[in-house]
Structures are given as C-alpha cells and as structure tokens.
C-alpha cells in the first residue's frame, strides 16, 4: 500500500489544524524539511516528538530546501556537515532536494531557480548528489521544480532529472502540482512532461494547492503557493500517474502552516486530508523494489546513464556568474531581453534563448519574496 503523509510545518497553527488527523491515524508517513530546523530558534518539542516517532517507524522522509543542488557557489560543505549531524540523530528513509539553485551573488538564499540543461550543469548536480550520498545511509534524490523561465526549461527538466539521477541510482520526488503548473503556464501537454521523467524512479509524490496570479500583461499563471486545498484535477492526475510509478511508496500533502489562519481553513484542510487519504488508499498496490541503503550502492549508475566528470574551474566560475547575474536581474525587475543579454555576456554557453517575460515576472516576485541578501 502507498503511504499517505504530510509535510510537517513547525507553526502552532499547523499543530492545531493537523492534530485531529494524526489522532485518527491517517498520517502514515512524515516529510520534514530538516534544514528548516537548523536555525537559531531550534525546533519545538512537539516537532521533535513527531520526528522521533516516524523515524523509529522507518517513515520519516527528508527533504532539503537550502542545499542548492545546482548552485556553483554556496555553503555546501557547512550544509553537509549539518546533514551528517541530522542523520546521526534520526533515521531518514531518503533525502531529496530541488532541481535548481538557491542564492548566488548578492543573495545567500532565494526560491529555487532552474538551470539550463548542459553537460556542466549535470556534472555539478551529480557531484552534489554524490556528496550527499557519501554522508547518508539512505537513497538520495531530487524534486522537479514549478518555476521556469522559458518553455525550454519545462520541456528539458525531465531529461535533466533523468541524467542527474542515473549516475547515483537516485530517486525522484515527483511534485504533481509543480508539473501541472509548468504544463498550464507553458502550454505543454502534461503527458509530454511526464514521459520525459524517469517514472520508475518515483518513490514519493507531492500534492499541494496553489492559486492563479495575473501578470502585468494580464496573463494568468498558476503558482505553487501551498496555501489552498488540493484541486480535484490533481487527484485525477494522481490516479492516472501512480500506476505508472512501480516504486511509489509515499504521497505527501504540502500546506504552509502560516496559511492555516482560521477555523474554516482548518476544517477545510482536515476534510481535504481525509479525501486525499482515501484516494491514496485506493491506488493500486505497488511492488517497490527495496530502497538502496548503502552509500556505495548509490555511486554507480544502474542503467548505464551519464557518469560525468566534475565541471572544470572555469565552468564553475561561469555558472556562478550566470546565477549571480540572474538573481540580480530578477531582483532589479529587468525584462527577459535584458536578462538574456546580461547572461549571454556573463556565461555564453549557458545563456538561454526565448525567456518568457511573464514567467520572468513570476521569478522576479519569488526572488523578492524569498531572497535573502548577503
């Protein structure tokens, strides 16, 4: 049976809203963005208690948000040292990160941004995944992004994910809402996006709600805001996609604790959790292969995919410049033409064509919302 669970949020409002469904026994697994708990404020006692229980049961799923998998520069070694402490403390079933980079140049953190599909980008991502794999005693993997700057980003993401995961025998955390956002916003059939992804590597699926937002041009774009109920379309998509994922083990419902602001929202959230739980219980029972648990096992490609050499110093410098310039341009509200020109000068081998002005506008909003200046 595929397990149903929640992405754990540390806010008291989340505890208030979710407590009854924990008490009813509906939450079979728990996902924790462990690096959220590395801040100076520490973790509330109730969060630690939940983490301990699910860890003991073998159903605690680790999900990083700040490693910057495709980031050329950053605090990767410090993050890895903290991860080593984290996995000493608790047992995670697997560890995933986002297919993108966070923070560059003036920014120490940002919303995850996509990178173009190049040999050097793949090599960097594979190296970063290997670095995680040497520390943890569980599989490692990636989650697909919602954010894209061009249709090309969306269409190429499947191949990028495939090439990143193959050399490390990694797992895929398939975020169906992210994929649906890209399908709607780029007007690409979702089947095209799905087919490009290695569905046999899917161990976990994310479901979430989102909302439409209008750009300056008047175009409506779907955003992965995690502050609404899961739309019925997504549940239908889950029922279509899950049977194609033979190694699926868990479906996780994502909702920001800060969005659970009143009694009506709590009631609706709980009703939605019960509905989704029933849908997950009705999915065909998969027969997942055992997860690989030794770091050594993750260092070889299981299907003969790319096994790239680490990027050169010059390539790393170009990627770092590209990332710093992109975030800077987004923060300053540059048009897609200006950004393309800037990136072409900074990193000609990476510079994308055909950026979409509306998608760039959304990325700029995300950068201003989540960006942390150095």
Q: Which of 39, 40, 41, 45 binds other proteins (CB under 8 A)?
A: 45
Residue among 304, 295, 352 nearest 329 (CA): 352
> Binding of other proteins at residue 92 (CB under 8 A)?
no
Choose the stretch contacting other proteins; rule: CB under 8 A; options: 52-60, 276-284, 315-323, 333-341: 52-60
Choose the stretch contacting other proteins; rule: CB under 8 A; options: 170-178, 241-249, 255-263, 328-336: 255-263
> Binding of other proteins at residue 309 (CB under 8 A)?
no
Give the containing element (helix H, strand E) for 265. helix 263-281
CA distances from 302 to 59, 129, 170, 298, 305 (A): 25, 15, 9, 9, 8
Burial class (CB in 10 A: 0-12, 13-18, 19+), 277: buried
> Binding of other proteins at residue 20 (CB under 8 A)?
yes
Q: Which of 53, 137, 200, 236 binds other proteins (CB under 8 A)?
A: 53
**Nearest distance, CB of residue 91 and other proteins, angstroms:** 11
Q: Which of 36, 44, 131, 275 binds other proteins (CB under 8 A)?
A: 44
**Nearest distance, CB of residue 94 and other proteins, angstroms:** 16
CA distances from 123 to 34, 130, 308 (A): 26, 11, 5
Cα–Cα dist 98/143, whole Å: 5
> Binding of other proteins at residue 261 (CB under 8 A)?
yes
**Nearest distance, CB of residue 96 and other proteins, angstroms:** 20
Residues 6+ apart with CB under 8 A from 342: 325, 329, 334
Assign 202 to helix, strand or coil.
strand
Residue among 192, 205, 188, 292 nearest 243 (CA): 205
Q: Which of 19, 271, 289, 373 binds other proteins (CB under 8 A)?
A: 19
Binding site for other proteins (CB under 8 A): 3, 11-13, 15-16, 18-20, 22-23, 25-28, 44-46, 49-50, 53-54, 56-59, 261-264
């Amino acid at each position: 049976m595929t397990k149903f669970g929640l992405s754990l949020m540390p806010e008291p409002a989340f505890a208030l809203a979710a407590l009854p469904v924990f008490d009813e026994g509906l939450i079979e697994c728990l996902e924790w963005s462990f690096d959220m708990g590395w801040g100076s404020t520490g973790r509330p006692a109730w969060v630690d208690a939940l983490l301990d229980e699910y860890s003991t049961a073998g159903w605690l799923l680790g999900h990083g948000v700040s490693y910057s998998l495709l980031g050329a520069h950053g605090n990767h070694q410090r993050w890895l040292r903290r991860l080593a402490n984290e996995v000493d403390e608790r047992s995670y079933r697997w560890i995933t990160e986002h297919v993108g980079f966070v923070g560059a140049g003036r920014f120490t953190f940002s919303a995850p941004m996509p990178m173009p599909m190049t040999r050097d980008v793949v090599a960097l991502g594979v190296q970063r995944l290997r670095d995680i794999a040497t520390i943890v005693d569980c599989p490692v993997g990636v989650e697909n992004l919602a954010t894209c700057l061009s249709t090309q980003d969306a269409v190429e993401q499947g191949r990028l994910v495939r090439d990143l995961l193959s050399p490390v025998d990694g797992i895929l955390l398939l975020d169906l809402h992210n994929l649906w956002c890209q399908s709607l916003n780029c007007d690409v059939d979702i089947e095209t996006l799905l087919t490009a992804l290695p569905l046999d590597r899917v161990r976990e699926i994310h479901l979430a709600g989102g909302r439409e937002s209008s750009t300056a041009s008047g175009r409506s774009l779907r955003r992965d805001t995690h502050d609404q109920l899961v739309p019925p379309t997504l549940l239908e998509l889950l029922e279509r996609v899950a049977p194609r994922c033979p190694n699926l083990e868990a479906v996780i419902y994502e909702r920001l604790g800060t969005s659970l602001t009143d009694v009506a929202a709590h009631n609706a959230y709980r009703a939605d959790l019960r509905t989704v739980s029933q849908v997950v219980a009705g999915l065909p029972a998969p027969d997942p292969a055992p997860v690989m648990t030794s770091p050594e096992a993750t260092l070889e490609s299981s299907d003969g995919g790319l096994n790239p050499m680490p990027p050169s110093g010059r390539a790393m410098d170009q990627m770092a410049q590209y990332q710093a310039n992109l975030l800077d341009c987004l923060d300053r509200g540059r048009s897609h033409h200006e950004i393309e020109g800037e990136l072409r000068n900074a990193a000609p081998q990476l510079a994308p064509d055909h950026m979409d002005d509306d998608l760039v506008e959304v990325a700029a909003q995300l950068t201003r919302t989540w960006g942390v200046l150095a």
